[in-house]
Structure 1
């Protein structure tokens, strides 16, 4: 059996996400008899019959063979709910609509939405909203966009083309080929852009038909379910319900769940099991976001795909974003426990290595944040759910001495109590908190890059790290100054740098470097050059085949050590060799 595709709506604040969902919901209400309306917790179902009816003018054009039962829209728009619609290796959501205000174009959370879609491998299309705001646009209530555009003046059409092209150009910069949906030649390779108005309803038929058609054509395998199998869902939210205590809102995406079923899910303290007491669904024509207890009805059984509320004991610590499984016996539970443990081992963790501390409010948000940081090669020492606490601060403090760029705590949608905040300030630990993931990533990157830049500036002021060999048969002058041919074995040498031998004795200072009879300032690894060395005398303190190093003072060596995280392996190795030479005479050198 094929289940309904699960659709999420994303986009920047004020792009029109909620009004678009409201318009879709209202369209469904208007076109359907009250008694037939299927209601869900946290979701709106639009039946395929409604889509066929409102999209009649377009059906012949696109020739979609619609077999899916309906579309299930997640009611709460936004990135946090989307990231909680998670399952191992991807997302429960089948398709995302990214809403863009046609006049504003790409905004900060537009980029974030696309980034999260990439992370969770969710295909998306663009709803280019507020076409009614284009100067001179003539509105035609609830018409398909392809009908409405026929009645617009050329000047308005040109303006629409300009706005659309701006979006196409931005998507191209992000690595996506795209076009207005009626011009797309290959929906697998191109992102479709659907011009819509959440105010007039124009373009909504196009949007619904396209989502239904694309889901049918490209996601059929993912939509196949065993309707009689044990239920599998994802926890969207944990709430307190008067008279019931803690309840969970879930999206059931496979199988069935009934009263009395045993369920397993994740909490902050590990895996929890309990029994379903009640399954609740809203009464028809209720907007669940504003529904009170009397707006729900009890049901005995629910099938995928559906949005339901579950009442049971021990739900208060359930993790939003956790998979929830129905199981029959202990053997099944053992398998489920393995899945649940494997599910979070890469999300909630603590390592012995250096890195930043990451905290988020939900499992889904934390997973997305961890993935985005790893993509940017930002190491993580600890990732966890919940408010910032003393343990987090102490871990950040432990980073401070050796890796100051990682003495930072990053928090998404979480808090910190006043005492701990004072502790952070007095410890001089960096705290970066935001409720926009993209904003957090930008701030972390800037913070780390600023520290890296400062370290690089310090390194630029330190002497070069290099190792050279005096070439046999390349003695051009024996003294005042000695001029010899050398090969740079590792690192680099520069003018005015002092050289030491294997006993740690200073041989002299480099006065000039020549390569192919031209003066140069720097010679790097594998270069063969002539150098003049002040104070060196061939046969007395300088010999053929000698290995020499650039002189590093004890103070400079310590500065190199403090900034070793931005040194390359070759520089580290040369410094180690220099330290070993200097410690022959002074074992505590550089420590």
Structure 2
């Protein structure tokens, strides 16, 4: 391979700005060097690129994951366009490397391969408007009673059967959490769904989360059926709800629009059958709900948790194909063989067709809510895909965590000392809650003097290794609906590690925000405490010049910080009232309208008519 030409004293092939280099998220300088070699057929040493980056005011090692902005700067210098591949494209390319082109697979399907599948419905709306109660009424089960703070903390998926036009039809429901901190998971719910039920309380009307849920559903391009709940409650006004929603493009059929509104009472089981009919009518009218059941299964992990007796358990929704016990599957960075499957009632099932939600056992680890899953022919392929995804994810996290720092900033940071940081380890019972908590914590706004670092997040009980990590990095451990095991509890007590437990997400957010604000260095502002006018200047061989003054305002205190002002201009700053006397007595303070003698130490440039101003530094309260 040829030697590259010199650029800035190092050997790097120069581009003309027209060629594009595609890099994955979290790539390193070594990856860029490999891509340059392939593109130009020149030998490129990673060290040369490190040097080039150094000259641009950035420091990085050859194997360190870099962010997009750093690559853009380096690419511009070298004459190449650097394109960071999106996570979706990245995963698509990864799967294509294993001979799995999912888009092509769908295109190749013939109409004769497709069979009708049940609609997948997401129930969305404002907290307290009765989404969970509505699902209770639909599936005759009580979920609300077990929820902390009355708020749904987990995503669940259920299938119900109803008679429609004399035929028994299935509908799959996804229950998305209600609190605003779960926005990310609610958005995921809208992405896997065919149709959304927007629940609005008839006595409450449109609320912020109603609009938020509506935006998610509209962004996903899914039809919406509105369930006007609590119609039998005092003060209920279903007509007002219909009127309010017209502003958001949802016009009721009775007003000449095409959105079905159904008045229901989840508490008293009113209007439930009509709501299910409306769902099926809307689905049949505007959607082509068909999938090929005769192939390897593809779908989405709706939720996942670590079960003490069963290991990693994932609730998956099959979108096409049929999932069977014994299949080799990969879901995100988790892989394994399907050891057992259960439906929402805990009944064992041998196979699951499209639109069927099932709980799957047998995965190596806990996938994240929203991870796609697919069946592979061999266990080895599933493992390799999972390992590659994990490596990509780890590099992306490292790039995200890397704080870009210029040489000037680096020098300044060394001079000023380390930036304060609050280190956290988050453990929760389900992956969706952990992810939502992490996202919400990272949105807490404090100034740049304090950093929030999440060192580790995971699903399951707090373990001894979590405490070890917290000990090394002086971190706080947050347990969300989980507790430490015996060894971890003893280790935490021995090491003095702060372990906090929460069951409602906003309690955790409030505590961490308070802790962060408590870490902020106090801000001080200057407050004038006294002003004295110099009436006379006494010369002393022993003490220098002494100012004979009269105090015009406030109080002059010995040892107070002071400055000398002449004609409105500061002529002496950062001084101190080193001596303060009234007649022959030393005093600690002199109040307004009293005379005194003031010595300012070695500062002797004082004249009659000058003002001596004393100041105090007062801590400003944080907002």
TM-score scaled by length of structure 2: 0.47
TM-score scaled by length of structure 1: 0.49
